[in-house]
Structure 1
Amino acid sequence: MVPPPPTNKPHVCLSTFLIMSSMALIDAYLVEQNHGPRKIGICIMVMVGDICFLIVLRYVAVWVGAEVRTAKRGYAMILWFLYIFVLEIKVYFVYQNYKADRKSLDALARKALTLLLSICIPVLFVVLVAIDHMEYVRAFKKREEIRNRLFWVVVDLLDILDIQANLWEPQKKGLPLWAEGLMFFYCYILLLVLPCVSLSEISMQGINIVPHKMLLYPILSLVTINIITIFIRGGNMLLYRDARVSGILIGKNVLAIILKTCSFVQYRRQLQN
């Protein structure tokens, strides 16, 4: 089947640029972490992989551009899943290289990796949602309510990335191997699934979208992020004396639990009335 012409070429170009530029920067980390003949081999491998990914991206991005003004976000979910699936594999190898070379204490490069992921991943999600292109949402109040709900998704993405970044940023005492692996792949799964859940809610609601009925993502994030990450950070702080644990994000999750609980109670009362 021939892909339809994109209804929004700037949207296609922006999403493609964000994806390929972030991939290229992670590739630069992988190449620089290797030396000698191995460096050339890694460079060839990542170039071939990026070319193959770009071929797939060329078709998926066009379909994403074609649905951007509609109530559907099916291809946006596919694009997000492909992007995170490939990107996190590369990040895993970067993290393993840092772990193997403990003598390399380039804190600036490690912080830059965290900053790169913290910008590219949330920005791509906002681009794929494309609230300002939802022509069927004409009411300003409804559009702002959707925007506020999606803001929580962005904050949750940053929360997940903060936990994952603790694995490669400089640390005095490393976590046990099983704990590091569990933390990385738990964050990996959340990055893959939760934004797709948010996008699917938009698709399922359709043109008659009602933001206060979008409850699936808030419930999942309440359990998987707001509650579980408190235990993860608390365990790292109490058991392993990890001084890098963010007290601010623990406070954010406590506040989110309170606000979401109040919202669920109010919504249930409205249904009963």
Structure 2
Amino acid sequence: MVPPPPSNKPHVCLSCVLIMSSMALLDAYLVEQNQGPRKVGVCIMVMVGDVCFLIVLRYIAVWVGAEVRTAKRGYAMILWFFYVFVLEIKVYFVYQNYKAEGDRADALTCKALTVLLSVFIPGLYVTLAAIDHMEYVRPLKKREELRSRLFWVVVDLLDILDIQASLWEPQRKGLPLWVEGLTFFYCYILLLILPCVSLSEISMQGVNIVPHKMLLYPILSLVAINFITILIRGGNMVFYRDIRVSGILMGKNVLAIVLKTCSFVQYRRHLQEAPTPALAPELQRDAMPQSSRVAVPVAMPMTVSMPPPQVVIQDLTTLPEEPELEET
């Protein structure tokens, strides 16, 4: 196996601290929710799972730290997927234990679980994106645009966690089982995929990051979060009288739909109405690697066409031999 390049140790340490702290707190939830002999068995299973997780994390975190100062975010996507996959499994068991307790569940610990997830999950995403380490993004304007885009990703993550947290926080009337399961796993899938899409857009742009071309995540966010979460919250509020629905986040979704729709319309109009000279500098910058590669085969025929003067010289050198033959 090829050894990784030198890694950014502070970045590796920070990401590992965030990951292991959240895992340890969830393990404490799982252990405290079980009593008697079952508590020992759960503790052993949790410790074995954490050891296996640490073994895999040791290699992935090093590669993540090695690509911080580059345009790549491949290992960051792998680490995010691996982390959320394991974390949400633990959250599911915690949620099922709270559901089994019913009215006996402590409201304070439920709120604390929500705060824990809303701090560590967006915090890890911001750490993996590492905007401040993107030294190859030299214009300050582009870096600020990227930072604003990542801010929208963080807000979307909080929106997803708010819907998921409504399942284990105290409620007056329980939701149907199929509604709870569908809501939980829909949020689970969004937490797995959408941040990876955002990181992949940064990775695919490369060194010449053009923020206005990163449209895949805003489109997915518009459909999967802003539209569908309004339907989820509205359905829970109308049909099941759920008082935990966040009206602030519903207003955020409405404003996000309006703003993103206006942005898409303006961008499309700009592409149709913008003159060619306005796009020329960007096209030349994107085409520089291609032009340099094409220039090599074009220059080769020029060097091959140089030998004709040599043929003429050889013909001139044979001319002095003819007078010598006439004298003999």
Q: TM-score, normalised by structure 2?
A: 0.82
Residue equivalent to 1:80: 80
1:211 aligned residue: 211
- Identify the residue that residue 63 of structure 1 maps to in structure 2: 63
The residue matched to 1:102 in structure 2 has which SS? helix
Is 2:73–2:203's contact at 8 Å kept on the other side of the alignment?
yes
Write out per-residue CA displacement over residues 98-132 of structure 1, whole angstroms, 9 at most, x where no aligned residue.
00111423111000000000000000000000000
Once the two structures are superposed, residues 3-50 of structure 1 have per-residue CA deviations (whole angstroms, 9 ceiling, x without a partner) of: 414431000000001001100000000000000110000000000000
Shift of residue 234, structure 1, vs aligned partner: 0.1
State whether structure 2 residue 112 is matched by structure 1 residue 134: no
Show the counterpart of 2:164: 164
Q: Given residue 57 of structure 2, which amino acid in structure 1 is its aligned partner?
A: L
CA distance in 2, matches of 1:93, 1:6: 39
Q: What is the match of residue 42 of structure 2?
A: 42
- The higher-RCO structure (CA 8 Å, 6+ apart) is 1
1:264 aligns with 2:239: no
Contact kept in structure 2, 1:226 and 1:256, CA below 8 Å: yes
CA contact (8 A) 1:6 1:63 kept: no
Q: How does 1:144-163 map to 2 (within 5 A)?
A: 144-163=144-163
Larger radius of gyration: 2
The match for 1:189 is 189
Instruction: Give the length in aligned residue pairs.
Output: 273
Contact 1:3–1:59 (CA under 8 A) maintained in structure 2: no
Amino acid at match of 1:74: G
Alignment of 1:113-132 (within 5 A): 113-132=113-132
RMSD across aligned C-alpha pairs, in angstroms? Answer: 0.7
| CA-to-aligned-CA distance 1:62-96 (integer Å, 9 cap, x gap) | 00000000000000000000000000000000000
Aligned mates of 1:7, 1:103 — CA distance in 2: 49
Instruction: After the TM superposition, list the runs of 4 or more consecutive aligned residues in structure 1 that deviate by more than 3 angstroms.
Output: none
Q: 1:7-18 alignment to 2 at 5 Å?
A: 7-18=7-18
SS at match of 1:174: coil
Q: What residue is the counterpart of 2:107 in the other structure?
A: 107
- 5+ residue gaps, structure 1, are none
Native 8 Å contact 2:29 2:94 kept in 1: yes
Structure 2 gap ranges (5+): 274-328
Assess if the C-alpha contact under 8 Å between 1:137 and 1:207 holds in 2: yes
1:53 equivalent to 2:49? Answer no
Please give the alpha-carbon distance, in whole angstroms, between the structure 1 residues aligned to 2:257 and 2:3. 43
| Structure 2 letter corresponding to 1:189 | I
Matched position secondary structure for 2:207: helix
Write the distance in 1 (CA, Å) between the matches of 2:258 and 2:155. Answer: 16
> With structure 1 as the length reference, what TM-score do the two structures score?
0.99
User: Are 2:167 and 2:180, in contact at CA under 8 Å, matched by a contact in 1?
Assistant: yes
Residue pair 1:3, 1:62 contacting (<8 A) in 2 also: no
Question: 2-side partners of 1:60 and 1:2: how far apart?
Answer: 14
